[in-house]
Every structure is written in C-alpha cells, then in structure tokens.
Chains A and B, each alone.
Chain A
Amino acid sequence: QKEVEQDPGPLSVPEGAIVSLNCTYSNSAFQYFMWYRQYSRKGPELLMYTYSSGNKEDGRFTAQVDKSSKYISLFIRDSQPSDSATYLCAMSRGSYIPTFGRGTSLIVHP
C-alpha cells in the first residue's frame, strides 16, 4: 500500500459544478497537508496548505483534513474551464520530505 493514495481520474465535470478531490494516507504522523495544481508542462503551484485537522477556505477552494479517517479533500466551487489541470495532494511530518499523491486529472467542460 502506498503512503498516499489518489485516484488519477480523469474527473470530468460541467462548468459550475462543485468538484471534490480526495486523498487517503496511511501514515498517522503526517501533520502538514498541501494541495497543488499543475497545468500541463508547468511546475506545480501551491493552492492550499493546512496544518492538522480542520477546514480552510480560500475563495472558491476549501481544504478539509480528517486525521481520524486519514482523509483529505479539496473542494472547488463554481468550477471553471480554467480549473482544468492535475491536482496533487502532498503531506509531510515536520521538516521531512513531502510525500505526494500521483495527482487527479480534472476536466471542466463548458
């Protein structure tokens, strides 16, 4: 079992839909959780960063962490075609090397 599991998709949704992206993990020591967005042939861009459990909201994006279930989510409200990209979750413990999921490909069609 990989430390971080993420469905590669693709996930295809119509414009305006609420998107839910998820990752599960096995290492209970992870404390820091990140979501990155990566457009084709570009470096990943940090979207959200959370520490421990709870929710964090930034514009149309909401990150949720449930440490008891070892499950994290990224919600995108009012999705736009420009949100079409690969979304990678990442997590770490302290100053250790972050562990990445394999990424979920999202397609938002007009």
Chain B
Amino acid sequence: GAVVSQHPSRVICKSGTSVKIECRSLDFQATTMFWYRQFPKQSLMLMATSNEGSKATYEQGVEKDKFLINHASLTLSTLTVTSAHPEDSSFYICSARDGARQEAFFGQGTRLTVV
C-alpha cells in the first residue's frame, strides 16, 4: 500500500505557542489531503480537506485561523495549530489520496499535548 509519513508523532508545547505538523506522501502524489482530529475512544472527526494548490475547505465549527493548512505540493501538507491552548490537546491524523485511486491512506498520527 501507499505510504504516508506524518511528523512529529508526539509533541508537547506551551500554551500560546504554535505547532506545525507535517504530512508527506512518500510514493504517490496526493492530490487531496484530509486532516482529522480524534479524541480518546472516539471516531475520526474531519477538520478540513485540501487540494494541492488550493485553499483548504474547513468543516463547520473548525476555525481556519487557528488551524492553518497548507498543501503547497503534491507530496506535502502541513497543519499549524496557532496559539495553542490545552483544549487543543488531541490526536491529529492526516490522510492522503491520489487522483487515480479512491482509497485514502493515513499517517501515523500526532499526539499534541498543550501545557
């Protein structure tokens, strides 16, 4: 299967700082990338969808100024959590899909803890 690499796997940051999470497709071109948030024992919550070269489309209730998404190339998307607060602590997962296939492949996830 296709490989999606997500970094970092864990990050602890101070309240008020910003954190950047990277998502890379290693062996395919990701025309579409998805960013999810997952709380313990809960399902995936879609935050936003991004297509290469376009602005991300955010789901209702997700602050686009707080969760900045950049999809500048066909192999890299980034999620920046700006001015992080303890309530932003969560498990963030990216997913990527290329235009020729319907299935999406996930990164390993990033556990963010804001202290």
Contact = CB atoms under 8 A, between A and B. Distances in A.
Interface of A: 32, 34, 36, 41-46, 49, 51, 88, 90, 92, 94-95, 97-98, 100-103, 105
B105 A95 contact: no
A105 B40 CA distance: 12
21 contacts: A32-B102, A34-B103, A34-B104, A36-B106, A41-B111, A42-B109, A43-B6, A43-B109, A44-B93, A44-B106, A45-B106, A46-B105, A46-B106, A49-B102, A49-B103, A88-B44, A90-B104, A92-B102, A97-B49, A100-B44, A105-B41
A18 to B, nearest CB: 25
Interface residues of B, number: 23
Nearest to A100: B44
A49 B107 CA distance: 18
B102 A41 contact: no
Given A90-B104, A92-B102, 16 more contacts: A34-B103, A34-B104, A36-B106, A42-B108, A43-B4, A43-B109, A46-B106, A49-B102, A88-B43, A88-B44, A95-B32, A95-B99, A95-B102, A98-B104, A101-B43, A102-B42
A41 B44 contact: no
A75 B46 CA distance: 27
Interface of B: 1, 4, 6, 32, 34, 41-44, 46, 49, 91, 93, 99, 102-109, 111
Contacts of B111: 41
Nearest to A45: B106
B32 to A, nearest CB: 7
Contacts of B41: 105
A43 B49 contact: no
A87 B46 CA distance: 17
Contacts of A45: 106
B48 to A, nearest CB: 10
Top 3 closest A-B pairs, CB basis?
A102-B43, A43-B106, A32-B102
B5 to A, nearest CB: 10
